Amino acid sequence: MHTFMANALRLIPALLLVLLTCAPSGAAEYKDIVRDWTSVQPPEAPAVQAVSVAHATTALLILDIEELTCNAERRPRCLETVPRIADLMRRAREAHMPVLYSITPKGTRETILPAVAPRHGDPVVQASVDKFLNTPLETLLEDLHVSTVIVTGTAAHGAVLNTATGAAQRGLQVILPVDGLSAESLFIEQAAVWLLHTGPATAKRVTLTRTADIAVQ
């Protein structure tokens, strides 16, 4: 019996080696989104279309286009959108469409960039990424009898994504000009647009367009 136990004990290291060699490597087989990052093929670009909106039931939202968020150091891509947003704002005002603004928690009405600055009486709400959260934005839109919002601004993955989603969840139609939003990179902008284009709360309520393709009636 003693000899048997001794021989068995000698076999344990060999058995462990065999088990370790034959066992599947968890690290080799386990996959996650980071390990698979380079294997993903991006989807085809979504279609954009020309749209026509009624000035009496539509509002233009200009989100966080201010000194702290839209500058050459932090977000130079934002500056490229400002002239396009400004032109859309001009056409909205000419048609007497309401224009509403948002600012970040650190911003003020005065820090909104001059090219898109609010007029006296234009509503400005202040919040983090969801401009409906703890602000009167929903009430303001209801009082204006708005059923459609045109969402522009920065950041695409912050204020634009969250506020457009919030609008859709409240039953509003969302017009999203893809050249009127910005982030730190093209990838982030594309990701935000794709999420709004395909998201469960937004897919049926978001229409993708470009600022120049919005006709205001």
Token readout for 143 is 């009082």
pLDDT at res. 196:
98
Q: What is the pLDDT of residue 30?
A: 78
| 8-state DSSP, 13 | H
pLDDT digits (tens, 9 = 90+) for 156-188: 999 999 999 999 999 999 999 999 999 999 999
CB 62 within 8 A of CB 85: yes
* Cα–Cα distance for residue pair 54/137, rounded to 1 Å: 20
Q: Give the integer Cα–Cα distance in Å for 176 and 171.
A: 15
Q: Flag residues of the chain having pLDDT under 70.
A: 1-29
Question: Tokens 């980071």 correspond to what residue?
Answer: 34
Distance of CA 19 to the CA centre of its chain: 49
**Torsion region of 36: left, alpha or beta (phi above 0 gives left; psi -120 to 50 gives alpha):** alpha
pLDDT of amino acid 9: 46
The angle formed by the CA atoms of residues 89, 93 and 99, to the nearest 5 degrees, is 65
Domains of the chain, first to last: 2-33 (no CATH), 51-216 (3.40.50.850)
